[in-house]
Amino acid sequence: MAKKEYTFDEICRDIRAKRFAPVYILMGEEPFFIDKITDLLVEHVLEESERDFNQLVFYGADTDGIQILNAARRYPMMSRYQLVVVREAQLVRDIEVLANYAKQPLESTVLVINYKYKTLDRRKALAAAVDKNGILFESKKIPDYKMPAFITSFLQERSLGIDSKAAQMLSDYLGNDLNRLDKELDKLAIIMAEKALKRVTPELVEENIGISKEYNNFELVKALAVHDVAKANRIIYFFGKNPKNNPIQVTLPVLFNYFSNLLICYYTKDRSEAGLMAALGLKAAFQVRDYLAGMRHYSAMKVFLIIHEIRMADACAKGMGTVSPDDREILKELLYKILHN
């Protein structure tokens, strides 16, 4: 029987408490969690004075399974542990050679295998052995709709709070690029420490991240949901004047996500606030209000056609079917089709 699957937070908590597994396989599409766990192990397994003789780093393109196996079987020098890190392990062709070692790993070795952007076959011997004797962690991309909740949780770990609108603003602006999010939150944390603040507000985001609390994708969705033509056009005009901070490549996925979810609402039997929250996986009541408003202003067929127009706008923005796409004109035309056709 497979062991319990550890979460990112649980793994980090154990590492900080110096409870190390003998083997870690960190695999999956999201590199952020893989890098964070690896960095934490590098920081906590060995003291700085022990690293010269007891820390080995391999790169998948330049090594093979036998080299890694021989390194893992060594004993540490004047230290309780040795740390062996294999980066880009997805490039190691004979990675399964490590399966027998993983069945009986040395307690004095902490072997960390970074298998990015792919996953090992769990039916094969290596994954099964690590699942039994170490930690097999799959790092998954966070869906866009879960990002506000993730941002809130991420800040809570730093003993900081955030307003729901500010979390949505960051989510809309940064998408699910966790490395970029981490850098922006680090910046906010420093500013908040200097000002003795404990909560991220929309004003703080506006002042320090470059996102307007009035003219952003969050407010654009709200305007479209209630069919506020004037406000939606003001926001699009602002985007056109500030294209660097409001790229169409960010706006279109936000609109696609909203109208795709709105279409789901029409196929949901329970269309109450609670029913829609459950269907869309929403955590806060304010998030569902835009969908309730959207259902009052757009029919299911209209939503279906809007999704098609968003796809066409995305194709135009990527240069398909036009010689020199103008993002402002593409967005203006899309907005007109959403609100008037």
Which amino acid, residue 82? Q
Q: Percent of the chain beyond pLDDT 70?
A: 97
pLDDT at 164: 86
Domain with CATH 1.20.272.10 in the chain: 215-341
pLDDT at 323: 55
Radius of gyration of the chain (CA): 24
pLDDT, average across residues 126-153:
91
Whole-number Å distance between alpha carbons of 59 and 74 = 18
Structure tokens at 160: 């900081």
pLDDT at 110: 97
SS3 34: helix
Strand arrangement of the beta sheet that strand 55-59 belongs to = 55-59, 82-87, 109-116, 23-28, 135-138
Domain with CATH 3.40.50.300 in the chain: 8-138
Q: Which CATH architecture has domain 142-213?
A: Orthogonal Bundle (1.10)
pLDDT at 221: 92
Structure tokens at 159: 């003993």
CATH class of 215-341: mainly alpha
Structure tokens at 132: 């039994």
Q: For 202-226, how does the pLDDT look when each residue is reduced to its tens digit (9 = 90+)? A: 889 888 887 777 888 888 999 999 9
- What are φ and ψ of residue 95, in 5° steps? -60, -30
Domain with CATH 1.10.8.60 in the chain: 142-213
Q: Which CATH architecture has domain 8-138?
A: 3-Layer(aba) Sandwich (3.40)
pLDDT at 292 over 70: yes
Going by the DSSP 8-state scheme, the letter that residue 113 receives in this structure is E
Interior angle at CA 279, CA 137 and CA 304, nearest 5: 110
pLDDT at 1: 47
Pair 235, 219: CB distance under 8 Å? yes
CA-to-CA dists, residue 191 to 95, 213, 248, 259, angstroms: 45, 18, 29, 36
SS3 201: coil
